[in-house]
Structure 1
Amino acid sequence: MLIELSIKHFAIIEELTIPFEKGLTVLTGETGAGKSIIIDAIGLILGGRGSAEYVRYGENRAEIEGLFIIEDDHVVIEKARELGIDVRDSMFILRRDITSQGKSICRVNGKLVTLAILREIGQALVDIHGQHEHQALMQPEHHLSMLDGFAQKELVQTQAEYQAIYGEALQLQKQVRNLSENEQEMAQKLDLYQYQLEEIEKAQLEPNEDEQLLEERHKLAHSEKLFSLLEDSYQSLYGEGRGLDYLTTSVSHLEEAATIDKELQELHESVSNSYFLLEEAAFALRDRIEKIEFDPSRLEFIESRLHDIQRLKRKYGSSVNEILEYAAKIEEELDSIIHKDDRVEKLQVQLEALWQDLLVEAKALTAIRKNAAEALTEAIHDQLRSLYMEKTIFEVRLQERSLGKMAPVVNGQAVPFGPEGLDAVEFYLSTNPGEPMKPLAKVASGGEISRIMLALKSIFSNQQGITSVIFDEVDTGVSGRVAQAIAEKIHGISIGSQVLCITHLPQVAAMADTHLFIAKHEMNERVITSVTPLSINEKVDEIARMISGVEITDLTREHAKELLELAEKHKQPV
C-alpha cells in the first residue's frame, strides 16, 4: 500500500507530504483545488507520461516520491531483484523528477531506472482507474485482455506455451519466406559469398595469426637491442668477477660461519639457494641469447603477411578470428542457398508440425476462455444487481479472429493465429428488457459505464496482486440509491487493502475511513494547494457542503450526519 506521498513544485502544488492509511481514503474539495493533480502525481511515479508543463512556474524541476510497503511474497519483489533493484523490508520508494526542460529522471529504491522499468514496477503496485479506463471498456480491442485478466490463474501456463510455439513458428515462417522469395537476390548472394569465401580460404589464415605475427615482428624489429640487453644481463651475472662470483664467496664464508654459529645455518641455506636460482637464470639467459635471430627476410615476410591480413580485415572483420567466423557464417549461408529447395522442404515440414501444435494450444486457450466468459458473465450480473442494474444483461462473446493475409493452412483450412490465440472478444449489453444485445460501446450511458467498470474492478481486485486501487471520479453520472450502492461497492474493495478515491458524491465521502480535504489558497500572489485530514465534525460540514452545493444549513448537516451513521452501520461486520 501507499504509505506516504511527497510532492514538490508540481503544477499548483508548492510542497506537500501526504500520509495514507489502509481502507478507503476519499479526497474532496472544490473543482480546481488540485484533487486530480495529486492523482496525476501518483500516476507519474507509476510511470505515466511526463511533461515540462507539470513543473510549477518559476521552478527548475518537479519532484515526486512515494513510499510503498507490500507483502513479503508479492511478485514485484522478485521482479525488482531480477532488475538489480535492492529490496529491504518489503519497501519500495518510487521517485520521479521532471525538469523544466521536460527531462525525466526515475529511481526505484535509489537506483536510477528507465521509465519502462518504473512503469513495470509501479503498475504492479497501484491500479489507477479513471476516465481512460472508461474508454478502454468502450474499445473491443481491450476486452480480450480483460477476460484474460479474469482467467489469469487458469490461463497463464497454456498462454505461455502458446506464445512460445507462436514465436518459434513466426521465426521459422520468416526463414521459409526468405528462402522462397527473391531468386535474383539469392543468385547475387551466391556469387558474392563464393567470391568472399574463396578469397578468405586462399589466405589460409590461422586463429590468432595476426596477434602472433605482430608479436614476432616486434621482436625481430628490436632483435639487436634485445641481444644487447640479454648479453649485458648475462655478463653481469656470469662474467668473471661479476655477480655470481661474489655470491660464491658469500656462500663459502657463510658456510664456514655456520660451523661456528648454528643459528646462521638457515641464512646460509637461503643465500645458497639464491645462488643456484641465479645460476639457473643465467643459463636460461644464455639459451635465449643463442636463439635470437637476425633474419631480415623473415621480417619482410611478416610485413607482407600482415599487409594481406589488414586488407581482409577491412572487408570481413577487425581480427583474424572475426574473419574466420565470417567465413564460417557465409559457408553456412552458401550451403543454405545451394541446397535451398531441400532446406525449404525440411523447414516446411517443421513449420507444419509447429502449426499443428499451435492449433492444439490455441483450442485449449479458447476452451479456458469460454469457461472464464461464463464465470465472468455470472460474476458481473451479481455485481450489477447490487448496483441496481438487475435488469441489465451482460454477455462476453467469443468469436474467431479475422483471417490475415499470411494465415497458415492447417488440415486444409486457413487458421487465424494471433499473438493471443484464435479468439476475439467483445462485451455485449442489454440495459432494458426486450432490447436486443448490442456492443457495449453503443448502448451504455456514462453512469452505466461507471457501474460496469466498478463491477469489473470489484471482481478483479480479489484476483490481482495490486496493493492500492485509485478511483478518479468514477461516480460520474450517478445519484440517489445508485450513488449509495457505488459507495458500498468502493468500500467493499477497500476492505483489507487500500483505496484512494476522488469523489463528488456525499454517499462515497461518508463511507471513508480517512477523509482528506483539498483546498487552494493564495500566498505571496501565488496559488498553493493544501491537504487537510478532516475530524468527525469537519467531515459533517464537508459532506453537508457536498449535499447542498453552496450553503450549509442545519438540514444538510442533519442529512450528512445521517449518511455517516448509515455508513458506520454498513461497515459493521454482519
Structure 2
Amino acid sequence: MIQELTIDNLAIIDHLTLTFADHMTVLSGETGAGKSIIIDAVGLLAGGRGSQEFIRRGAEKLSLQGQFTLPTDQLMLEQLDQLGIPYDESGLIISREIHRNGRNTIRINGTLVNTTILKQVGRGLVDIQGQNEHQQLMQPESHLGMLDQYAQQEVDEIKQDYHTLYQQYRHLSERVKAKKANEQQWAQRLDMLRYQVNEIEEANLSPNEEEELRQERERLSHFQQINDALLTVVGMLNENEPVPVLDQLGASMQELAAIATYDQDYQDLSQTFDEAYYSLQDVADQASRQLDNLEYEPSRLSEIDERLTQIGNLEHKYGSTINDILTYYDQISQELSTMEEAAHSDEDLDDQIAQLATQLTKLGQKLSQVRQQAAERLAQLVDQQLHDLYMEKAIFKVHFEQVPAGQFLATGIDDVEFYIQTNQGESMGPLARIASGGELSRVMLALKTVFASAEGVTSIVFDEVDTGVSGRVAQAIADKIRLIAQHSQVLCITHLPQVAAVAQHHFLIRKAVHDQRTITTVSTLNEQQRVEELARILAGETVTELALEHAQELLEMAKEKK
C-alpha cells in the first residue's frame, strides 16, 4: 500500500505531504479544490503519462515521491529482481520529476528507470478506478482483457502458447505475402544479386593485391632509372678501374687496424671504419642481386594496367577498397543464399503455415472454451454484486463471437463484449449501448469487487466512481467499497456522504488564495470534524442541525457495520 506521498509544484499544489493508513481513506472537498490532483500524483508515480502542463505556474519542474510497502506477491518480487531494482523490508520509494524542458527523471529505490518499467512496477502497486474505467466499459475491445484478468490463472499459460504460435504464423504469412506482392521486384533483386556475386567471384580479388600491383607498376615504369642506378653502384664499389672502391676502403681499413692498439681514439676510428666498410659491402651484394633479378616485360606492364582498371571499376560499384568489396560480397552472398532458399521453399512455407494454422485453431478453441467457462462464473458473480447494488433485475453476460475459420487474432479466436439486461422484459444488448452513467458505475464496481480478492494490488483508488447515484444505491456502493477495503488499501474521492461515512480515515481538501496564488491544503479530520464535513456534503453551503444529526447517524451506522 502507499504510506506517504509528497507533491511539489503539481498544478495548484505548491507543496504537500500526506501520510496514508490501511483500509479506507476518503478525500472530500469542494469541486476544484485539488482532490483529483492528488490522485493524478499517485497515477504519475504508478507510470501515468506525464506532461509539462502538470507543472505549477512559475516552477521549472514538478517533483513527486511515494513510499510503498513491499508487495507480498512473489511474481512482483521476481519482476523487481529481473529489472535490477533493489528492495528490502522497508519497501519501495518511487520518485519522479518532470521538467519544463521535457526531461523526465524516474527512480525506484534510487535506481533510474524509464516509464515503461515504472508502469510494470506501478501496475502491481496501484489500481486507479475512475472515469477512464467507465470509458473502458464503453469500449468493447477492452472487455476481453478484463475477462482474461478475471481468469488469469486459467488462461495465462494457454495464451502464452497461443501467442508464440501466432507470432510464428504471422511471420511466415507476412513473408509469403510480401514475396507474392513483390514478385517482379523479388526477381529483379535476385538477378542483380546473382550478377554482382558472380562478377566479384570472377575477379578473384586478394586483400593486398591493389597495393602490390601499384608497387610492381612503379618498378616497371622506372626500369631504366633503377637499372642504371644499380649498375653505377655495383660498378663503383666492385668494378671501378684501376682499383674498385671496396678494395681501396679495404686497404684503408687494414692501415687503421694496424694503429688501433696505440690509442683508444685510433681504436674507435678503426671500429667505425670497419662498420662502414661492411655496410658498403652489404650494399654492393644487395645491389648486385637486385640487378641479377631485374627483368623488364613490356607485356606485364599492360597486364597490371588492365587489372588495376578492373579493380577500379569494382571499387566504383561496390566499395572504395578491395576490403570494402569483399565485405559487400559477404553481405550479398548471404542475402542471395536466403532468397534462393526462399525461392525453393514456397511449398515448405505453405506446409508450415498450414500446420501452424491447425495448431492455432486447436489452441484457440481450447482458450475459447476456458474463457467461456470463466465467463459463466464471472456473470454469476457480477449478477450477485449488481443485485446487492439494487439492480435486482439486471442480468450480466459475456457475449462471444468467433472469427471466421482460418482467421486468427493476436489474442485468440474470440471477439468478446459485455452484454446486460437492466430491466425484466427488456432485451439484452451491449453494455456500452444500454447502461446509463449510474448503471455503468455500479457495473464497474461490481467487476472490481469480484476482481479485488484475486488481483493482489495493494492500493485501489476510486475516483468519483459513485457519480450519478444516490439514496439506497449510494449506500450499497459504500458497502461494496468498504468490503474491498478489507482486502486492500482504498483511497476514495467522493461526493456521497454514505461513502465518506464508511471510511476509517478522512482527508478534507481545501483551496485558498495566498499572495495572489491558489494553493491546496489537506487536513485530517477528527470525529467531530467528520460530522461537520458529512453535513456539508449533505446540505451544501448551509449546514443545518438536521444535516448534522443525519451526518452523525451515518457515522454511527458505519461503525455498526464495521
- The question of a shared fold, defined as TM-score above 0.5 by the shorter chain, is answered with yes
Report deviation, 1:138.
1.3
Kept in 2, the 8 Å contact 1:3–1:20? The answer is yes
Provide Cα deviations, 1:55-105, integer angstroms capped at 9, x if missing partner.
111111111111111234442332233233233336222222122344433
Change (3 A) 1:336 1:90: farther
Change (3 A) 1:315 1:154: farther
For residue 496 of structure 1, give the secondary structure of its aligned residue in structure 2. Answer: coil
Equivalenced residues, count: 480
Provide Cα deviations, 1:278-324, integer angstroms capped at 9, x if missing partner.
xxxxxxxxxxxx9xx99999xxx9x9799899768628998688445
AA of the residue aligned to 1:177 = K
For residue 463 of structure 1, give the secondary structure of its aligned residue in structure 2. Answer: helix
Report deviation, 1:133.
0.8
Residue range with higher mean Cα deviation, 390-399 or 309-318: 309-318
Kept in 2, the 8 Å contact 1:317–1:323? The answer is no
- 5 Å matches for 1:63-462? 63-89=63-89, 91-204=91-204, 314=319, 322-323=327-328, 325-336=330-341, 340=343, 342-401=344-403, 403=404, 414-462=405-453
Structure 1 residue 534 and structure 2 residue 539: aligned?
A: no
AA of the residue aligned to 2:26 = V
Change (3 A) 1:93 1:204: farther
Provide Cα deviations, 1:329-386, integer angstroms capped at 9, x if missing partner.
133135236xx2x410111111101100010100001101110110010010111111
AA of the residue aligned to 1:138 = M
Gaps of 5+ in 2: 216-285, 296-303
What is the CA–CA distance in structure 2 between the aligned matches of 1:358 and 1:35, rounded to whole Å?
A: 48
Q: Which residue of 1 aligns with 2:8?
A: 8
Q: TM-score, normalised by structure 1?
A: 0.77
Change (3 A) 1:353 1:316: farther
What is the CA–CA distance in structure 1 between the aligned matches of 2:158 and 2:322, rounded to whole Å?
A: 44
Q: Which residue of 1 aligns with 2:247?
A: none
What is the CA–CA distance in structure 1 between the aligned matches of 2:502 and 2:294, rounded to whole Å?
A: 97
What is the CA–CA distance in structure 2 between the aligned matches of 1:83 and 1:34, rounded to whole Å?
A: 34
What is the CA–CA distance in structure 2 between the aligned matches of 1:187 and 1:506, rounded to whole Å?
A: 74
Change (3 A) 1:85 1:348: same
Change (3 A) 1:488 1:357: same
What is the CA–CA distance in structure 1 between the aligned matches of 2:369 and 2:79, rounded to whole Å?
A: 30
For residue 495 of structure 1, give the secondary structure of its aligned residue in structure 2. Answer: coil
What is the CA–CA distance in structure 1 between the aligned matches of 2:410 and 2:169, rounded to whole Å?
A: 11
Q: Which residue of 1 aligns with 2:495?
A: 504
Residue range with higher mean Cα deviation, 307-316 or 548-557: 307-316
Q: TM-score, normalised by structure 2?
A: 0.79
AA of the residue aligned to 1:353 = Q
Change (3 A) 1:322 1:534: farther
What is the CA–CA distance in structure 2 between the aligned matches of 1:543 and 1:453, rounded to whole Å?
A: 25
Provide Cα deviations, 1:467-519, integer angstroms capped at 9, x if missing partner.
11100000111111111111110011111321100001111111111111111
Q: Which residue of 1 aligns with 2:511?
A: 520
Gaps of 5+ in 1: 218-289, 404-413
What is the CA–CA distance in structure 1 between the aligned matches of 2:74 and 2:511, rounded to whole Å?
A: 38
Change (3 A) 1:90 1:461: farther
Change (3 A) 1:203 1:469: farther
Based on CA coordinates, which of the two structures has the bigger radius of gyration?
Answer: 2
What is the CA–CA distance in structure 1 between the aligned matches of 2:205 and 2:77, rounded to whole Å?
A: 52
Report deviation, 1:132.
1.2
Q: Percent identity over the alignment? A: 44
Residue range with higher mean Cα deviation, 63-72 or 347-356: 63-72
What is the CA–CA distance in structure 2 between the aligned matches of 1:189 and 1:82, rounded to whole Å?
A: 44
AA of the residue aligned to 1:520 = K
Q: Which residue of 2 aligns with 1:479?
A: 470
Change (3 A) 1:317 1:507: farther
Q: CA RMSD in A?
A: 3.2
For residue 461 of structure 1, give the secondary structure of its aligned residue in structure 2. Answer: helix
What is the CA–CA distance in structure 1 between the aligned matches of 2:208 and 2:472, rounded to whole Å?
A: 85
Report deviation, 1:325.
3.7
Report deviation, 1:15.
0.2
For residue 148 of structure 2, give the secondary structure of its aligned residue in structure 1. Answer: helix
What is the CA–CA distance in structure 1 between the aligned matches of 2:503 and 2:472, rounded to whole Å?
A: 18
What is the CA–CA distance in structure 1 between the aligned matches of 2:412 and 2:24, rounded to whole Å?
A: 39
